A = this chain, B = another copy of it.
Amino acid sequence: MIAAAAAGALLLTGGVTAVANAVAPAGTPVAAPVKVAADVLPAPENVVAQNRISVGASSKAVNAALAKCQADKLPFVTVALVDRFGTVQALLRGDNAAEHTIEAAKQKAYTAAAFGAPTSELAKRINGNGPSIADLPGTLFLPGGVPLKVNGVSVAGIGVGGAPDGALDEACATAGADALAAAAK
């Protein structure tokens, strides 16, 4: 279907992107397709499927989380939804949110996604004496991150940063997760 849309133009798969970006500004005719040798297709036994939160759901979640914070008179937060690979899916920075809230929201979201538990729970496991999981790169064990699970597997996380108390951050993140629940339809 996608390929059909590109008929006569680009060899358009989900993976063929931006090829003609270099060619010209808006208005230039679409570039000719990339001609490639017959693609090698991996056999089915070499492939695994992985669940992810869709972009539509991701947008719904971060908006719900921000709305909760705004209702709580905490508009100056950043909300992020990231996957298990640490990549942001959706992000909203509240008006007047300070700079570090962006990275804090991402890291809380990632930490929850990677460990499959709220960061408020994970934080209890770190006593501060000697090396700990708090040393792991890209993680942040402050309250405000909650995981999203599909079939018992953590596939993403929502993180909020900027409220004056981590419990307030977490309430917003949870509101974001709730917006995706079956009952929330």
Which positions in A face B, CB cutoff 8 Å? 1-3, 5-6, 9-28, 30-31, 34-37, 39-60, 62-63, 66, 72-73, 75-77, 83-104, 107, 110, 113-144, 146-150, 152-155, 161-171, 174, 177-178, 180-182, 184-185
Given A22-B142, A130-B123: A53 and B57 interface contact (C-beta under 8 Å):
no
B53, B93, B138, B141: which contacts A42 (Cβ < 8 A)? B53
Copies of this chain present in the complex amount to 8
Q: Is the CB of B164 within 8 A of A104?
A: no
Q: Is the CB of B40 within 8 A of A181?
A: yes
Q: Which residues of B contact A57 (CB under 8 A)?
A: 42, 45-47
